[in-house]
Structure 1
């Protein structure tokens, strides 16, 4: 079973459209805070706050060289989320399979009554 706290932080991090936009950009490759803030006219302090949430959520990592902080995607960023979704899908599909089997026991109505 997947621990809830990391998954909660990940979903919280992705709940904001600005942060999802940063993830979209970072999926193309590493970027500086300025590069991530620029397209949305976001101030650097605000961008850093958003990036901190993404980092706490395990989605991005940062590296500082001199005065420049660069962010990139965490290599296995969505592994836990993928596992959680896969488990929900498997459970749901099993329920639908059982429903389909149960429905075979009932004759279909022809709609003429």
Structure 2
């Protein structure tokens, strides 16, 4: 089976609102699976499946402390998405800069605004 590239895995993991909510909670600190289940109206197995997707995408890691497996966010996991977004932003800014220069070089139209 062909493994998806890291960027696709990241965006696929972030596409689900439950996983984004889990990441937002983990951004505030480490949580156990049971703590993540509380207040979500989802079963522990369902949350565990979401955690596996986040872990495969490199967005979280799971530790081992006695009987619990605390989850923590891996901020570097978002780096692949940030780099891609930054490249897109640079391309868009360059294209808009060229368009601005082209529009500035165009002569003003005579009589513009005279007609209804």
* Fold conserved between structures, TM > 0.5: yes
Match of 1:111 in 2: 113
**Residues 20-55 of structure 1, C-alpha deviation per residue, up to 9 Å, x if partnerless?**
110010000100001111120211111110000000
Which structure dedicates a bigger proportion of its chain to strand?
1
Match of 1:47 in 2: 47
Could you list the runs of 5+ residues in structure 2 that have no partner in the other structure? Answer: none
Structure 1 runs (4+) deviating above 3 angstroms are none
Instruction: Give the secondary-structure state (helix, strand or coil) at the position aligned to 1:61.
Output: strand
The number of residues matched between the two structures is 110
Matches within 5 A, 1:1-113: 5-109=5-109, 110-113=112-115
Superposition TM-score, scaled by structure 1 size: 0.91
Aligned-pair distance for 1:6? Answer: 0.3
**Residues 54-104 of structure 1, C-alpha deviation per residue, up to 9 Å, x if partnerless?**
000110000122221100011312111111100000000000000011111
Larger Rg: 2
Superposition TM-score, scaled by structure 2 size: 0.89
